[in-house]
Structure 1
Amino acid sequence: MFETVNIAKGVKVHVHETTQFKTINFSLKFKDKLTKEKASARTILANVLQHSNEVYPSHTALRMVLDDLYGTSLYIDSSKRGNEHIVTLNVETVNDEYLSEEGVLEKVMNLMYIVLFKPNFEHGLFKESIFKREQEAIKHRIESIFDDKTRYAQQRLMELALPDHPASIQPNGTIEEVANVTNEKLVEEYEEMIKNNEIEIYAVGDIKAELIAEHFKEFFHFGDREQAIKAPSTELTKPEQERVVEFEDMKQGKLHMAFYSPITFRDEKFPVMQLLNGVFGGYAHSKLFVNIREKESMAYYVSSSYASQFGLMFVLAGIDAKLEEKAVKLVLEQLEEVKKGNITDVELGQTKALLTNQLREALDNARGQIDIYDQYMELTEAFEPDYLISRWNSITKEDIAAAANELSLEMTYFLSGKEDDSVE
C-alpha cells in the first residue's frame, strides 16, 4: 500500500503512489510519549505553529499564500493513540502535473518548512500575544467538554477507573497543565519535537517515493533521532470503586460502563474484538441497540465501543435516572448472550459487512489511507486492507464468544440529574 524510505534514523517517509487523486496529501506526524504535561504543551504548540510564523506572522497572511497555491489547505492538530501523543501537520495541494505552472510542489514543501522551522520568535520566545491567545483557546476547548455531558461522563469514568493512566489523559491535556505552560516551556517542547521526536511522513498522490523522499531531505534536514524515551505503561489496574454516582444539573442520566479485556490492538485476536464490539453494541443491528433501545424503549441511545490500544470496552447509554439498575442488568444480559455464542447469522453477517464497508469507504480518500496505514502498520509493515477483511471473514461465533468470556466489568459510572433524589 505504501512504499517506505528511511531518510534519517527515526524518520520515515511513506508514499502511496496512486492516480486515484488529482491532489497530493501530506501528513507529518511527530510522536512522543503521552503525559498530561506534554499533551497540554504540545496542543498549544500545534495552535501556535499553525496560526503564525516568521514569514507569515498572521493567519490572514498565511491564508493568502495558501490561496495563491491553488487553494492548498494546511492545518496542524494534536491527538493521542495508546501511550503516544502525536502532533500532525496536514497539507493537501494540487498536483502540478495537472497545471501549466511548474514548481508548485516545491513551493508547498517550502511553506511546510517555514511553518515548522521558522516560528514567530521574539527574543528567543514565541510572540507573547500569540502564545497567550492560543493558550486561552486550548483552555476553552477543554472546558467545552463539560457542556457535552456524554463526553464529560466518559472522561470522569476514565479518571476514576484509571487515574494517571494513558487511557484517561485527554489529547488536549488539562486546564491546570495548560495554565502551567510558560513560553519558555513551550520553546523547550518545540525544540524537543523538532530534534528528537520520532517522525512518520506520509504522502499520497501521483508522485514517486524517491522524489518525495529527496524533497524532504532537501527541505527539512531532519537529523537522526535517539531511541524514544520509555512511554508510560498501559497495563490496566483494578479501579478503587466498582460504582460511582455523581450529579449535575441535567435531565437525562448518563450510564457508562468499563470492561477490561486482555486482547489489545497488537494481539492476534484483535479482529475478533472488532466483531464482538459490532455484534454487542457497535451498530444499529447490535444486541444493545435492538434489545434495550428498540424493544425496551428505555434508552435515548445505547452503544458499545472498543479502545483497542488499551483492551477497554465501554458501554454508553442515555437513560432516566430511576432506570440505572435495570439498564445495567439488561446490558449484562446481552453480554451473556454473546458469551454463550447466541449470535444470529444476520448479526454476524451485517457486522462483517459494515466493518468491510467502513474500511473501504475510508480508503476512498487520501487522509483515510494515511490514518489507516499509520495505525495498522503496527500490525505489519506490509499492511494491506485485504489482510483485515480476510481475518474478519474467517471469524466464527465461537471465536467471538470466547473473547466475550474474557471481558470483566470493572466499573460503572452514572451521571444523574440533581433533582433525582432516588439515586444513591
Structure 2
Amino acid sequence: MFEKFSLNEGVTLYIRPTSQFKTLNFSVKWKHPLTNESAAKRSVLANVLQHSNEKYPSTAALRMHLDELYGTAVYTDATKRGAVHNLSLNIECVNDQFLTEEVMPSVLNLLHDMIFKPNFEDGRFKQSIVDREKQSVMTRIQSIYDDKTRYAQFRMLQILRPDHPASVTANGTLEEVEKLTVDDLMSMYEEIINRDEVDIYVVGDVDPQTFAKELEKVLPFPARKSSSPSADLKVADQNTEVQIVRERQEMKQGKLHIGFSTSINFKHPDYAKMQITNGVFGGYPHSKLFMNVREKESMAYYVSSSYSSHYGLVYVMAGIDAELDEKAVNLIGEQLDEMKAGKITDLELSQTKALLINSLKETLDSARGQIEIYDQYKSLSEDFSVEEWVEKWSSVSKEDVQQMAETINMELVYLLSGKEAN
C-alpha cells in the first residue's frame, strides 16, 4: 500500500503514489511512551507548533500565508494508541499538476519551518504563546467533565484500569497541564527532534523515489534508536468478581457504562474474529444490544458496544432511566450469554461483515484515512491490503463468534445518575 524509505535510523518515510486525489497529504508522526505527564506536554507542544513559526510569528500571518498557498491546510494532533502517544503534524495542499504555478516548494519550506524553526524568543518558546495554548488544552480536558457520556466513560476506565494507559487521555490531566513550564516544553521539543521514533507519510500523485530524496533534505532529522515504543500491552488479569460503582451529579438521564475484559488483543491471531464479535454484540444498529435492549424492551435511549483491542477491553455504553439499571445490566448480560450459547443468526453475522468491510473502504476513500489505517495495521503486516482483511472477516463463522464471546467477561458496572435518583 505504501512504499517504505529510511531517511535515517529511527526516521521512516512511507509514500503512497496515487492519482486518486488532487491533493498531496503529509503527516509527520512522533511516537513516545504514554503517561499523563508526557501527554500533557505533547498536547500543549502540538498547539504551540501549530500556532506560528519563525517566518510567520502569529496565527494571522500563518493563516494568510496558507491562503496564498491555495488554501493549504495545516493542523497538529495529539492521540494515543495502546501505550504510545502520537503527536502529529499534518499538511494538505493542492497538487501542482492542477495549478498554473508551483506551490510545492513553499509547502515543503513551511513543513521544514514548522518543525525546525519554531517561534522562539531568545532561543525558547514565547511565554505568552505557551500560556495561551495551555489554556486551550485545559479547556479541551475540561470539556470531558461537561459531557456526561464522555465523563462516565472516563470514570469507568479510571476505576477499571487505574494507573494504566487505558485510563490516560491523549491530553493528560488538568494538573499536569497547569504546572507545565517553558522549560518542560523545550525538553519535549528536543525529544521529538532528536529522540522520538518518527514516521512520515505522504499520499498523492508523486514519484516516490524523487520525492523521498526531496523530503530527506526538507526533514533533516538526526539518527535515533530505531526501537519504537510498543503500543502493545500485556492483557491484564481478569477480575473474577463484578465491581459495581454508582456516582451522582446534577443530570437527568442515567449513563450506564460496563467494562468487559477479553484475552484477545490487537496482535492476537483472532483479532479479526473479535471485531466481528463486537459488531454482533453491540457495534451496529442491527446488533443484539440495539435490537433487544433499545428496540424490543425500550430499556435504553441509546446502547452500543466498542472493542478497545490494544487494551483487551470491550465497553458497553447506554443511556437509561437510573432506576432501571439492574434490569438493563441483566438484559445486556443476557445478550452476551446468548452469543456464548451460539445463538447468532445468519443475518447478524452477514450484516456485521458487510458493515465492517464498507467502513474500511469508506475510510480509505480519504488520504487521511489511508494514513491512519496503515499507521495502525502496519504493525501487523506492512503488506496490509483491503483484500486481506475482507478475506479475514468473510471467513469468520458463528462458531468463531461463539468462541470469542466466551472470552468476554464483565468486570465493572458504572452508573452515573442524577442526585435525585434512588
TM over 0.5: yes
1:222 paired residue number: 221
**TM-score, structure 1 length as denominator?**
0.97
Deviation of 1:237 after TM superposition, in Å, equals 4.5
Is 1:293 the equivalent of 2:297?
Answer: no
**TM-score, structure 2 length as denominator?**
0.97
3-state secondary structure, aligned to 2:264:
coil
Q: Is the 8 A contact 1:33 1:229 kept in 2?
A: no
Give a deviation string over 1:132-187, Cα, whole Å, max 9, x none: 00001111110111111010000001111111101110001000111121110110
3-state secondary structure, aligned to 1:309:
helix
Is 1:309 the equivalent of 2:301?
Answer: no
Is 1:210 the equivalent of 2:209?
Answer: yes
1:183 paired residue number: 182
1:403 paired residue number: 404
Q: Is the 8 A contact 1:17 1:204 kept in 2?
A: yes
Deviation of 1:401 after TM superposition, in Å, equals 0.4
Deviation of 1:210 after TM superposition, in Å, equals 1.2
Q: Is the 8 A contact 2:40 2:172 kept in 1?
A: yes
Q: Is the 8 A contact 1:4 1:12 kept in 2?
A: yes
1:70 paired residue number: 70
Deviation of 1:124 after TM superposition, in Å, equals 2.7
CA distance in 1, matches of 2:265, 2:207: 35
3-state secondary structure, aligned to 2:79:
strand
CA distance in 2, matches of 1:231, 1:183: 28
3-state secondary structure, aligned to 2:310:
coil
Deviation of 1:52 after TM superposition, in Å, equals 1.6
Q: Is the 8 A contact 1:82 1:234 kept in 2?
A: no
Q: Is the 8 A contact 2:244 2:414 kept in 1?
A: yes
2:85 paired residue number: 85
CA distance in 1, matches of 2:249, 2:372: 37
Tell me the number of residue pairs that the alignment of Structure 1 and Structure 2 aligns.
420
* Equivalent AA in structure 2 for residue 376 of structure 1: Y
* Equivalent AA in structure 1 for residue 305 of structure 2: S
2:44 paired residue number: 44
1:353 paired residue number: 354
Deviation of 1:98 after TM superposition, in Å, equals 2.2
3-state secondary structure, aligned to 1:70:
coil
Deviation of 1:231 after TM superposition, in Å, equals 6.0
Q: Is the 8 A contact 1:32 1:228 kept in 2?
A: no
Consecutive unaligned residues in structure 2, runs of 5 or more:
none
3-state secondary structure, aligned to 1:181:
coil
1:330 paired residue number: 331
CA distance in 1, matches of 2:130, 2:156: 32
2:127 paired residue number: 128
* Equivalent AA in structure 2 for residue 298 of structure 1: M
CA distance in 2, matches of 1:230, 1:209: 27
Deviation of 1:235 after TM superposition, in Å, equals 3.9
Deviation of 1:223 after TM superposition, in Å, equals 1.3
CA distance in 2, matches of 1:76, 1:162: 29
Q: How does 1:407-418 map to 2 (within 5 A)?
A: 407-418=408-419
Give a deviation string over 1:289-344, Cα, whole Å, max 9, x none: 00010011110100000001111000011101110000000001000111111111
Bigger shift: residues 258-267 or 237-246: 237-246
Is 1:391 the equivalent of 2:392?
Answer: yes
1:13 paired residue number: 13
1:265 paired residue number: 266
* Equivalent AA in structure 2 for residue 297 of structure 1: S
CA distance in 1, matches of 2:108, 2:209: 15
CA distance in 2, matches of 1:21, 1:6: 25
Question: Aligned pair in 2 of structure 1 residues 355, 229: CA closer, same or farther (>3 Å)?
Answer: closer
Deviation of 1:238 after TM superposition, in Å, equals 5.1
Q: Is the 8 A contact 2:13 2:200 kept in 1?
A: yes
3-state secondary structure, aligned to 1:32:
strand
3-state secondary structure, aligned to 1:378:
coil
CA distance in 2, matches of 1:321, 1:151: 17
Deviation of 1:346 after TM superposition, in Å, equals 0.6
CA distance in 1, matches of 2:340, 2:269: 19
Give a deviation string over 1:218-263, Cα, whole Å, max 9, x none: 1121111124486695542456971111111101111111111111
Q: Is the 8 A contact 2:235 2:265 kept in 1?
A: no
* Equivalent AA in structure 2 for residue 200 of structure 1: D
3-state secondary structure, aligned to 1:26:
strand
1:236 paired residue number: 236
Bigger shift: residues 347-356 or 114-123: 114-123
Q: Is the 8 A contact 1:250 1:418 kept in 2?
A: yes
CA distance in 1, matches of 2:172, 2:130: 16
Deviation of 1:54 after TM superposition, in Å, equals 1.2
Root mean square deviation of aligned Cα: 1.4
